[in-house]
Structure 1
Amino acid sequence: MGSRRAAGYLLRVRESLRAAFVEDHPPHLLAASFAIGVFVTTLPSFGAGLLLLTWIGYRFAWANVPTMFAAVAVLNPLVKGGVYVVSFVIGARLLGPVPGITRGDIGMDAGFDVLVRLLVGNVLLAVVLAMVGYAVAYRAGQAARRYGH
């Protein structure tokens, strides 16, 4: 059952990316749109990130909406738990541990010190993932142009 679900997830991601690269945008704009999607989707927006991506897509003519939403397919709710754990670890390494708190205690009611570490780590992780996303999407955009979508 799990392998079927994973295969379906990978197929949805692949189809989202393929649809994004069909549009005739230069690779750097595809990459920028994907990076923005990754950055916004990585942050804990509680669904408001989707509204922000929609607004960006309609506000800025250069933005590629399917590419931004392809990032949503990559960083979906199934993956977000791992993103938050990694974010907390990064924040705790930078700001120091919170006495008496373990990774299992991470949550909205865990306290201010935990939330600060989670958010600091999350923003840094979002920046790194957006940079990686830009590089990957740029190369994919170049390959799509080279091989005729």
Structure 2
Amino acid sequence: MARRLAAYRRRVRSRLETAFAGEHTPQQVARSFAVGVFITALPTFGVGVLAFGVIAALFESVSKLALVASVVVLNPVAKWGVYAASFWLGVRILGPPEVTVSTISFTAAPEVVARLLVGNLIIAVILTVAGYAFAFRVIREMHDRDLGVAELVVGE
């Protein structure tokens, strides 16, 4: 388990270093990372990759590497936690779905999906703001100190 965490940390650090060392301004990279976090946090079921391609093709100011770096942060394993938290938050806001063991069917799906989407949208916005703030801070410090991301993120 410790080896997996260390490998994951190295992979995230490497992708962030590559993304943040590009030719874009700190605001552009942070904005690109934040957009990537938002799209990745949503339950897009693979359409997010298409959205990344469309955004990268339409907007020259987008850092493609920062978009990809966001996928490393919210990888498929982490997304299950986001989905669970989203449903929990949706239930807190909209109340529990009117589903019992005897009424479980596809007719109950809209109530469950509504709670998931409401919670997920709120969490995606929070993660987007946090992602922008984190990326902007790291990039600014990296530029100001001429450091690599590894030194800033993990204190190495």
Identify which range, 109-118 or 19-28, moves more after superposition. 109-118
* RMSD over equivalenced CA pairs, Å: 1.7
Deviations 1:47-98 (A, max 9, x none): 1101211221121010001011100000000101100000001111110112
Alpha-carbon distance in 1 for matches of 2:53, 2:2: 32
Alpha-carbon distance in 2 for matches of 1:10, 1:57: 26
Given candidates 126, 129, 136, the residue that maps to 2:127 is 129
Shift of 1:109: 9.1
Alpha-carbon distance in 1 for matches of 2:20, 2:145: 11
Given candidates 108, 113, 116, the residue that maps to 2:114 is 116
Deviations 1:25-62 (A, max 9, x none): 11111110010000000001111101211221121010
Alpha-carbon distance in 1 for matches of 2:107, 2:2: 34
TM-score w.r.t. the length of structure 2 is: 0.85
Partner of 1:105: none
TM-score w.r.t. the length of structure 1 is: 0.89
Write out aligned runs for 1:21-100 (5 A). Answer: 21-100=20-99
Aligned length: 142
Confirm or deny: 8 A CA contact 2:56 2:63 kept in the other structure. Answer: yes
The structure with more radius of gyration: 2
> Which blocks of at least 5 consecutive residues in structure 1 are unaligned?
102-107
Q: Give, as a single letter, the amino acid of the residue that structure 1 aligns with 2:24.
A: H
Q: Give, as a single letter, the amino acid of the residue that structure 2 aligns with 1:144.
A: M
Q: Give, as a single letter, the amino acid of the residue that structure 1 aligns with 2:114.
A: V
How many percent of aligned residue pairs carry the same amino acid?
A: 43
Partner of 1:140: 138
For the structure 1 residues 64 and 125, does the alpha-carbon distance in structure 2 shift closer, same or farther, using more than 3 Å as the test?
same
SS, match of residue 43 in structure 2: coil
Which structure 1 residue ranges, 4+ long, deviate > 3 Å from structure 2? none
Shift of 1:99: 4.0
Alpha-carbon distance in 1 for matches of 2:108, 2:4: 32
> Which blocks of at least 5 consecutive residues in structure 2 are unaligned?
101-105, 149-156
SS, match of residue 111 in structure 1: helix
